Amino acid sequence: MDHCLFNIKGTGCLAPPPPPPSADATIQFSVGLNGVNRRDDTETVQTLLNNASARTGVPKKLLKVDGWVGPLTVGAIHEFQKAQFGSSDGRVDPNQKTIRRLNEISKLTPAKPPAVPAPPVLTPRERAFEVLPLATLWVSLASVHLNILLSSFKFNGGKIADPTAFNTVNTHFHLDREPNKVEANLQELIRLYGLILRTFSDAQTIFLDGPAVANSPFADAPMGGFQLPGTEFHRITFRPGFVNCGPNTRSAMLVHEGAHFVGGINEISHFAMEFPAPDGQPQGKGNVRNYAQLLTKEAMRNASSFAAFAIHAATGTDHRYGAADITK
C-alpha cells in the first residue's frame, strides 16, 4: 500500500523523502511486513499505533515500544490499515498515507475510557443475605458440637468425657453452675440452635429492611417473634448501620438476633456483653454480673452468649466479633 521510492536504476531506496511539515512524526525507512525496520523508525510507528489505539480503539491492544517488528506490530499495522482504508499490506512507508493518517489521529483528543459503573448499593437486608451462609455454618457446627457432647455425656453416665469440648460450651453458658441440669441444658441449647437454623432457612420471609432508630443502629428482633408467625413480630429487621459492619460482625449479629427471635416471649434478652473478652460488661437494667460471672440461667437467656459460642465451636477459638471492632 505504501511504497519505497526507488532510484532510477531500481536498485534500492533513495535517500529519505523530505519530512512533512511541523511536528508530525516521521520515519526514514519502511516499517512492518518486508520493511527495512530500523529500530528508531519502528519505535515511532509503535508509538503512533498506541496513540491511535487510545483515540480510536484500533488497534485493540497496545504495543510494547521496543523497536522490534514482530507479529504483534505487523498485526497492529494490518488492523489499523483495514479500519482506516478497508485493505492493508502490513507496512508503513515514509510520508505515505498510513503514517499521515497515524499523525492525523495522534492530534485528536484521546477517547475517554468507559466509565466504570459504581458498585451496587446493597440494602441492610441484602448485606445480611451476603453473610447468611457463614452464620448458618457457625450455628450448624455449634449444634454438632452440642449433640456430640450430649451423646458423650449420656454414654458416660452423666460424666464429662471431653473436658475441652465441655469447656468450649461452659465458657459461654456456665453449665457447671447447675451440675444437676447439664443434660437438660444441653438439650435446650440444641433445641434453640435448631430453631435459629429454621429461622435462617426462612430468611426470605423473616429478614426485613428498616429505617434507622436511635436505640438500634444495626439490627433487632422481637424476643419470641418465632412463636408469632403471621404477625408483625415475626421478623428480624436490619438497619442502615448494619451495612458498614464487616462480614464476621454481621454474621455474629445474625446469630445474636436469631437467639432473641427463637426464645420464648421476652426470654432471651441481654444480661452481659461478650466484650471486652473474656469477662465482658454487665448489660441491661439491673444486671450486675459480667459475662464470666453469669449464672447458667442468665447465660442461657443472653443473646450475646449464643453468638460467641457459635463462633467458638465453629472456629475452635474464642473470637468475639462485634462491638470491639465492627469492621471485622
User: pTM above 0.85?
Assistant: no
What does the pLDDT look like over 59-106, one tens digit per residue? 999 999 999 999 999 999 999 999 999 999 999 999 999 999 999 999
pLDDT at 7: 43
Spatial neighbors of 27 by CB under 8 A, at least 6 apart, are 38, 41, 44, 45, 92, 94, 99
Give the pLDDT of residue 17.
Answer: 47
pLDDT given for residue 327 in this prediction: 86
What pLDDT is recorded for position 117? 84
DSSP string for residues in 85-134: HS---SEE-TTSHHHHHHHHHHTSPPPPPPPPPPPP---HHHHHHHHHHH
In our burial notation (b when 16+ CB lie closer than 10 A, e otherwise), range 21-46 reads eeebbbbbbbbbbebbbbeebbbbbb
* Mean of per-residue pLDDT scores for the chain: 91
Residue ranges and CATH numbers for the domains of the chain are 1-117 (no CATH), 124-315 (3.40.390.10)
The pLDDT of residue 3? 47
Low-confidence ranges of the chain (pLDDT < 50): 3-15, 17-21
